[in-house]
Amino acid sequence: MPDQLPPGQYVPKRWPVLHYGRIPHFNPQKWTLRVCGATPGPVCWTWAEFGRLPRVDVIADFHCVTKFTLLGNRWTGVSTAQVLAAASPADGVSHVMVYGEYGYNANLRLADFAAADSLLATHRNGDLLTAEHGHPVRLVVPHLYAWKGPKWVRAIEYLTEDRRGFWEERGYHNLADPWREQRYSYQEDPSDGPSV
């Protein structure tokens, strides 16, 4: 198992609950997911419309910057490829900002968002995500630390230049590769992102 883990990670007995702020109340009649920013065709799905989008299963690990890793999760949800097909990024889009409830956001490169195993997850290991783990929808980008996958996703904005998200503005690494232990902004090279 150690060779399956990024440096400094361990496997916990259960999935820890970590987030900033309170857990939002989900109202399916009022919930929407917007895709906006630099796109010729923005979209806004209701919960019913989002529920009709094709689903995918992805088997992938989950790496938290607090040093735990959950191995071999089966995530179910809507692939980010589906999002990109429904609302294509304009020429020049290089980054994405993903917004959760209460103003939380995370930036990532378009290539990371578009990765084949990235998805807007609604289930883990066959079970609906619980509220404390992001129900109804959380972004999962398995090759990055989990703070790059906000819980309670409500909007996706296409950007033509990088802009730091919530934790990146507070000293976390702009790129967040767990295999390179990119945890904190002081580890960044000048090309890793905008200045803090």
CATH of the domain at 142: 3.90.420.10
On whether residue 16 sits in a domain, the answer given is no
Query: How do residues 131-190 score in pLDDT, each as one tens digit?
Result: 999 999 999 999 999 999 999 999 999 999 999 999 999 999 999 999 999 999 999 999
Could you give the CA distance from residue 39 to residue 87 in angstroms, rounded to a whole number?
Answer: 7
Burial of 47 (0-12, 13-18, 19+ CB in 10 A): middle
pTM score over 0.85 = yes
Query: What per-residue confidence (pLDDT) applies to 13?
Result: 83
On whether residue 23 sits in a domain, the answer given is no
Query: What per-residue confidence (pLDDT) applies to 2?
Result: 46
Domain that residue 180 falls in:
2-7+33-188
Could you give the CA distance from residue 107 to residue 165 in angstroms, rounded to a whole number?
Answer: 5
pLDDT at 92 over 60: yes
- CA atoms within 13 Å, Cβ hemisphere of 63: 22
Query: What per-residue confidence (pLDDT) applies to 20?
Result: 67
Return the ∠ at Cα 51 (arms to 112 and 157), rounded to 5°.
Answer: 35
On whether residue 13 sits in a domain, the answer given is no
On whether residue 108 sits in a domain, the answer given is yes
As given in the structure block, the two tokens for residue 150 are: 């906000």
Could you give the CA distance from residue 19 to residue 132 in angstroms, rounded to a whole number?
Answer: 8
Query: What per-residue confidence (pLDDT) applies to 1?
Result: 47
Mean pLDDT of 42-60: 97
Q: Which band of pLDDT confidence, cut at 50, 70 and 90, is reported for residue 3? A: low
- CA atoms within 13 Å, Cβ hemisphere of 162: 17
On whether residue 22 sits in a domain, the answer given is no
As given in the structure block, the two tokens for residue 193 are: 């992102």
Please state the domain count of the chain.
Answer: 1
> Pick from 24, 8, 12: which is nearest to 150 by CA?
24
Q: Which band of pLDDT confidence, cut at 50, 70 and 90, is reported for residue 102? A: confident
On whether residue 27 sits in a domain, the answer given is no
pLDDT at 119 over 50: yes
On whether residue 26 sits in a domain, the answer given is no
Q: Which band of pLDDT confidence, cut at 50, 70 and 90, is reported for residue 80? A: very high
Query: How do residues 53-75 score in pLDDT, each as one tens digit?
Result: 999 999 999 999 999 999 999 99
- Cβ(193)–Cβ(175) below 8 Å: yes
On whether residue 28 sits in a domain, the answer given is no
